[in-house]
A = this chain, B = another copy of it.
Amino acid sequence: MRYAAYRLGDKAMKILEERILRDGVVKPGGILKVDSFLNHQIDPQLCYEMAQEIHRLFEGERITKILTIEASGISVAVMTGLVFGVPAVFAKKAAGRNTSSEVYSSPVYSYTKQVTKDVIVAKEYLSAGDRVLIVDDFLAMGSALEGLCDIVAQAGAEAVGAAVVIEKAFQPGGDRLRAGGLRVEALARVRSMSDESLEFVKE
């Protein structure tokens, strides 16, 4: 086990928490690197199990579309779409500002890369009648989810909720989005982390 001290949460996805503890690496600047199973190399079976858990959380919500953002969100989103039986749309990162009349567009600031990029979705893939589940790999400051919510609103569709793989609960994005009325579910919520310890939220 990598961490001298750790604590599991009460979430259903113990398998995910244990994987983060085993394979995650805390990097300087508050980065939790999970490249071995989510962000560079993907464990498809784990992805599928996460999609099943997301389905358990949101079934009955009559979801019509999964929305994510390239590139790391795609694997979980497409598995989630498979389980729900609905299409998955991935927002693209545009170079600079995009003002095409054919796309919905929203600026997203990346704290990791310290740059703002517009994310865009072609208008034909989101409609007023859609009930959208937003899926992403990480939730920290919440900028990506806010941009995706903005795009859903521009389409006149409804954001039923957001499902993220890992929430850094010590950063304000999740609480701010929940305070704004969005249902946000995280499969693993990290309460604190350092080189030596990593604790999940116990609820």
Which of A85-93, A161-169, A191-199 makes up part of the contact surface? A85-93
Q: Which of B40, B87, B92 contacts A44 (CB 8 A)?
A: B87
A145 contacts chain B at the CB level, 8 A cutoff: no
B40:A125 contact, CB within 8 angstroms: yes
- The reply to whether A78 and B75 form a contact with Cβ atoms under 8 Å apart is yes
Query: A133: shortest Cβ distance to chain B, in Å?
Result: 13
The answer to whether B45 touches A89 (Cβ under 8 A) is no
Q: Is the CB of A40 within 8 A of B75?
A: no
The copy count of this chain in the complex is: 2
Looking at A43, A71, A85, the one whose CB has the most chain B CB atoms below 10 A away is A71
Instruction: Quote the shortest CB–CB distance from A6 to chain B (angstroms).
Output: 22
A44 touches B79 (CB 8 A): yes
Q: What separation, in Å, do the CA atoms of A82 and B83 have in the docked complex?
A: 13
- Which residues of chain A from 146 to 160 have any CB-CB distance to chain B below 8 Å in the complex? none
* A42 contacts B by Cβ under 8 Å: yes
A36 vs B114: C-alpha distance in the bound complex, in angstroms? Answer: 32
Residues of A at under 8 Å CB distance from B?
A: 35-37, 40-45, 47-48, 70-71, 74-75, 77-79, 81-82, 85-90, 92, 121-122, 124-125
